[in-house]
Amino acid sequence: MISEDDLIARFFAPIAGQGGLGLRDDAALVAISPDEELVVTADALAAGVHFFADDPPESIARKALRVNLSDLAAKGATPSGFLLSLALPKDWHEDWLTEFANALAKDARDFACPLLGGDTIRSPGELFLSITALGAVPRGKMVRRDGARAADRIYVSGTIGDAAAGLTLRRQKGPGLSIDQDGRAFLLDRYLHPRPRLGLAPILRAYATAAMDISDGFAGDLTKMLRVSSVSARIELRHIPLSDAARSALAADPSLHDRLLTGGDDYEILCTVPPHESGSFEAAAKKATIDVTAIGTVEAGHDAPCFLDQDGTKKTFARGSFSHF
């Protein structure tokens, strides 16, 4: 059986960036300039909770890094590197770890976010991994959750509900939803492979008053952001952007509607922008080739957000977002 030192040297040292010191030390060395601040985020992923144990190893690796990069994007940060803690199950094998490490290396290169260090242990149960990602922002420019103000316009990037529909497909046995193969492949990909909107980071710094990524479900995450900002909102659900594939899934099973808006794993950006800056924000996002959609307005008060259905009636959700507890 391969030793921990050999495992690190073979699979992960080649991924390490300069600050990782070849993974031959107990810590990394990260330089931050005097006019920048460090943004730190961490996400843990467990088999059976955040992914299926038989998901492809390359998909697990990409998801683990990308969910953290999504957090950095929402804060307006540029990735600097990441730490990986990996607890391997008893039945792990080198082919699996090779595929995992190769995919992690590709994403680390593509997103300019090198591995800086971490830890590898044997798990007493299922696969478990945690990534801590580091990013940099100009001093005083991190976009927080608690800055939303009355009259701000509320935006989301991309489309909402794709991953929730993909998870529904992943769980189904038999033929499942009657949507075409292209739509099915798109939704499964959106569940397996988040798309961190790092191109929005500098745009958020320039225009957003508050931002977060949508990880646990649109309705619940919006409520969280409004709560810490001490404001409310009015949301027109007809403006929520849905992909063609999600619309097809919804047509096949109308009961999916609430799940698309509360199911989580979107990893899109939710943000608020002052009304006089909305045109510039939209133009900058378009130039960055990232779709953004205005879905409502921040309002004064401490009530939960008001969601208006297609016919103008108030909509409530039994559960606003995913929760571990």
Single-letter amino acid, residue 220: G
Q: What tens-digit pLDDT sequence spans the chain (325 residues)?
A: 676 667 777 788 787 777 766 766 555 667 788 899 999 999 999 988 888 888 999 999 999 999 999 999 999 999 999 999 999 998 888 899 999 999 999 999 999 999 998 888 888 889 999 999 999 999 999 999 999 999 999 999 999 999 999 999 888 765 567 789 999 999 999 999 999 999 999 999 999 999 999 999 999 999 999 999 999 999 999 999 999 999 999 998 998 999 999 998 999 999 999 999 999 999 999 999 999 999 999 999 999 999 999 888 998 887 755 554 3
Q: Which two tokens stand for residue 32?
A: 């931050």
pLDDT value, residue 172: 78
Q: Which of 217, 297, 298, 219 is nearest to 263 (CA)?
A: 217
CA distance 278 to 78: 23
Q: Do 98 and 11 meet the contact criterion of CB atoms below 8 Å apart?
A: yes
Q: Tell me the C-alpha distance between 316 and 43, whole Å.
A: 29
Cα dihedral 157, 161, 164, 168 sign: negative
d(CA 90, CA 126): 8
What is the C-alpha to C-alpha distance for residues 106 and 263, in angstroms, rounded to an integer? Answer: 29
The per-residue pLDDT for 124 is 86
pLDDT at residue 324 in the model: 41
**CA-to-CA distance for 168 and 171, rounded, in angstroms?**
5
> What is the C-alpha separation between 290 and 175, in angstroms, rounded?
34
> Which residues have a Cβ under 8 Å from the Cβ of 170 and sit 6 or more positions away?
52, 188, 191
Return the residue matching tokens 């190769």: 102
Encoding tokens for residue 142?
């991190």
Residue 325 has what pLDDT? 32
- Count Cβ atoms below 10 Å from residue 125 Cβ, excluding itself: 11
pLDDT for 58 equals 97
